[in-house]
Copies of this chain bind each other. A is one copy, B any other.
Amino acid sequence: MHKMNSKNKTFIDKLRSSGLRPTNQRVEISKFLFNRKKTFHFTVEELKNSMNLKRSKKISTATFYNTVHALKSAGHLKEFSLENNTSYYDTNIKSHHHFFDNGKVIDIRSDKITFQKLPDAPKGKKIKNVEVVIRLENNN
């Protein structure tokens, strides 16, 4: 009893080309994560809760962790940190910047910030990337 619409085809290819078998769970999770216009920032727990809320047959916690790790390894997700002790993931895998506004995260495209002065890397090292966090607070 496999639904197979043209949308799923995209994600099946995406998974296959990353060396991941396109299981039902992986396709569903990929659709949920990548089938949207705006960047999605999430924790595994949040992902699990919002997906399983609407499903009769739940996907297991371990599968959410496994799949998020697999997608990260394949380069389809980026990991980042806020200051609690939970991993966050970002569907925007390009190097970019963020506003942090009380736990809410908003993307800033890389070209919206440019530098006048940047330090050199210590000797023997080179710069891999430069990412900026702009912390916000309420006006007044």
Give residues in A with beta carbon < 8 Å to B: 79-87, 99, 101, 106, 108, 112-119, 121-122, 124-139
A-side interface mostly? strand
With a cutoff of 8 Å between Cβ atoms, the chain B residues found around residue A99 in the complex are 121-122
Q: A83-B81, A116-B115 are in contact. Are A129 and B125 (CB under 8 A)?
A: no
15 contacts between A and B (CB under 8 A): A80-B83, A81-B81, A81-B83, A81-B85, A83-B87, A101-B125, A106-B122, A113-B115, A113-B118, A116-B116, A118-B134, A119-B134, A126-B136, A128-B135, A131-B133
With a cutoff of 8 Å between Cβ atoms, the chain B residues found around residue A114 in the complex are 115-117
